[in-house]
Amino acid sequence: MLSPGMSKIKSYAKLGVKMEVTVHIPDTIGARLGNDPEAIPRWLLEKAGLEAYRSGEISGYELRLMLGLKSRLELDAFLKMHGVYLEYTEEDFAHDAETSRQLKRQHAQSE
């Protein structure tokens, strides 16, 4: 159990290297961020991801990995809920195109 002034952020990505970050937050601020100390790491991860996405430091696909979102639709809903417009990069397009090709191959093989 973490003390009220400490939070640990774990990467929720399924792929790649995971990073763990410890953040020390004064109790007074931690209390304002929510009643559930367990929810603060996720809240911080989402805020960091949103800011990195807004500033163009990461792509939508990378934000999906960072937050552990399973689909583009989940990402769209998350961004909309936070008032952020979708940025669709060439990397996103390439990833989606490859996924489409794989699904077409799987479908053709199953017939």
User: What's the pLDDT tens digit per position in 5-33?
Assistant: 444 444 444 555 677 888 888 888 888 87
Helix (H) or strand (E) holding 17: none
Does residue 50 contact residue 84 with C-beta atoms inside 8 Å?
A: yes
> What pLDDT was estimated at residue 68?
93
In the chain, which ranges are continuous DSSP H helix?
27-33, 40-54, 60-67, 72-81, 90-110
Does residue 49 contact residue 57 with C-beta atoms inside 8 Å?
A: no
pTM score, two decimals? 0.60
Chunked in runs of 10, what are the mean pLDDT values of the chain (111 residues)? 46 59 84 80 92 92 93 93 83 90 92 81
